[in-house]
């Protein structure tokens, strides 16, 4: 499984920092940078409202969510995705560069360098 690197700057981790890959795989891996933004309960779980990450090129939204769940655990998993249906829960919207992923390729939407992923928990009240 690809690694998720949280970066506090624009520094991209070297391929040598990725312990999941063999040396031959490390030479072929290209890393891209994305930004994740969120609010409310997700912000509490993640600890911030804006985070920059470095991920392998070709990572999909589905893989990104899996990487995030691996990092932040069951609390995030129950908040974000329906594992059985392989889609985001109806209580959250995932936008890629301002467009709902439902209008793109859904969870199979591939991320590109510089993308901004916005995860919005839906709120209610009055």
pLDDT tens per residue across span 45-85: 899 999 999 999 999 999 999 899 899 888 888 878 766 66
Under the banding of pLDDT at 50, 70 and 90, the label for residue 1 is very low
In a domain, 66, yes or no: yes
Residue 100 pLDDT more than 70?
yes
pLDDT given at position 3 = 53
User: Residues 23, 25, 30, 33: is their CA dihedral positive or negative?
Assistant: negative
Exposed/middle/buried for residue 50 (C-beta within 10 Å: 0-12, 13-18, 19+): exposed
To the question of pTM greater than 0.85 for the whole model, the response is no
Predicted pLDDT at 11: 42
Q: How confident is the model at residue 91 (pLDDT cuts 50, 70, 90)?
A: confident
CATH of the domain at 78: 3.10.20.30
Query: Rounded mean pLDDT of 30-54?
Result: 92
Q: What is the model's pLDDT at position 64?
A: 93
The per-residue pLDDT for 85 is 62
The CA-based diameter of the chain, rounded to the nearest angstrom, is: 56
Instruction: Tally the C-alpha atoms within 13 A of residue 38's C-alpha that lie toward its C-beta.
Output: 23
Query: Is there a domain that residue 91 lies in?
Result: yes
Q: Tell me what the pLDDT averaged over the chain comes to.
A: 79
Other beta carbons less than 10 A from residue 113's beta carbon: 13
Domain, as residue range, for 89: 5-121
Q: What is the DSSP string of 45-89?
A: HHS-SEEEEEEETT-BHHHHHHHHHHHH-HHHHHHHEETTTTEE-
Looking at the domain assignment, is residue 28 inside a domain? yes
Number of domains in the chain: 1
Q: Tokens 């981790």, residue?
A: 13
Q: Which helix (H) or strand (E) holds 23?
A: helix 23-28
Distance, first Cα to last Cα, the chain: 43
Q: Would residue 126 count as lying in a domain? A: no
């Amino acid at each position: 499984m690809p690694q998720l690197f949280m970066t506090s700057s624009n520094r991209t981790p070297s391929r040598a920092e990725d312990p999941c890959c063999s040396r031959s795989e490390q030479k072929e891996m290209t890393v891209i940078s994305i930004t994740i933004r969120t609010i409310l309960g997700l912000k509490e779980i993640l600890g911030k409202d804006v985070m920059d990450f470095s991920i392998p090129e070709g990572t999909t939204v589905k893989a990104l969510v899996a990487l995030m769940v691996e990092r932040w655990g069951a609390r995030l998993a129950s908040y974000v995705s329906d594992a059985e249906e392989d889609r985001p829960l109806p209580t959250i919207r995932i936008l890629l560069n301002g467009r709902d992923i439902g209008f793109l390729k859904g969870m199979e939407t591939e991320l590109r360098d510089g993308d901004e992923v916005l995860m919005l928990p839906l709120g209610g009240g009055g």
